[in-house]
Structure 1
Amino acid sequence: MRKDKEKVLDEVWTEDRVREFLDVQPPKGVNADFHMLLKAYQSMRADDFEIFIGMFLEKGHDVNATNADGRTVLSFASEHRNSGEFVEILKNNGAK
């Protein structure tokens, strides 16, 4: 049998593809800024994430938005072993 979907590695992200993450809708009760920032962090390479952060902030979104437990995306990224570039991008753009 053949797999329905093949895993895509090193996908090329256009600016439009990155911008689509500004329209990601959160589940009920989840802060919209936190949700879109977390989804971008989980889905993008660091270079694309940096482009996204510029767009995110340009639209007036909060890089320090929190989830229901009061955690920021920076707090999650800081716990991940290979997230150094993401942590740096967040901090360079006002994340605390």
Structure 2
Amino acid sequence: MAERKDKKKVIGEPMTDEQIKVFLDFNGEEGVSTDFHVLEKAYRALRAEDFERFIAFFQEQGRDLNARDPQGRTLLAHIESHVKCADYADALRAAGATA
């Protein structure tokens, strides 16, 4: 049976808050800000809607959305040029992140 073209394919089940909060517990690698490392891990692993929820939990802990990688870039600055990541960049901007 062919998939209808007007039906959006859903991949995976919605994540629970607890599953999303697991990303808050990663430790940074040597020479990398822990906050940047955590944000990047979540960005790479979560769907955009889950990443947006993650950002709220991240901010509740008083963490830095503008943490920088070793090259001095924020996550927003790093992903702004990624064509398929507009939803992630929009979520960061809406939460107050800067490039």
TM-score scaled by structure 2?
Answer: 0.84
1:23-69 deviation per Cα after TM superposition (whole angstroms, max 9, x unaligned) = 01111121000000011011111110010000000000000000111
| Mean CA deviation greater in 53-62 or 9-18 | 9-18
Which residue does 1:26 correspond to in 2? 28
User: Structure 1 CA distance, aligned partners of 2:18 and 2:11?
Assistant: 17
Among 6, 16, 19, which residue is 2:18 paired with?
A: 16
Aligned to 2:47: 45
Identity of aligned residues (%): 39
Matched with 1:89 is: 91
Cross-structure match for 1:4: none
Unaligned runs of 5+ in 2: 1-9
Partner Cα distance (1:22, 1:10) in 2: 23
Q: One-letter code of the match for 1:87?
A: A
Shift of 1:94: 0.7
Larger radius of gyration: 2
- How many residues end up aligned between the 2 structures? 88
Q: Could you tell me which of 46, 67, 81 is aligned with 1:79?
A: 81
Amino acid in structure 2 at the alignment position of 1:64: N
- Which TM-score applies when normalising by structure 1? 0.87
Structure 1 moving runs of 4+ over 4 Å: none
Question: Residues of 2 paired with 1:91 and 1:63: CA distance?
Answer: 10
Moved more, 58-67 or 24-33: 24-33
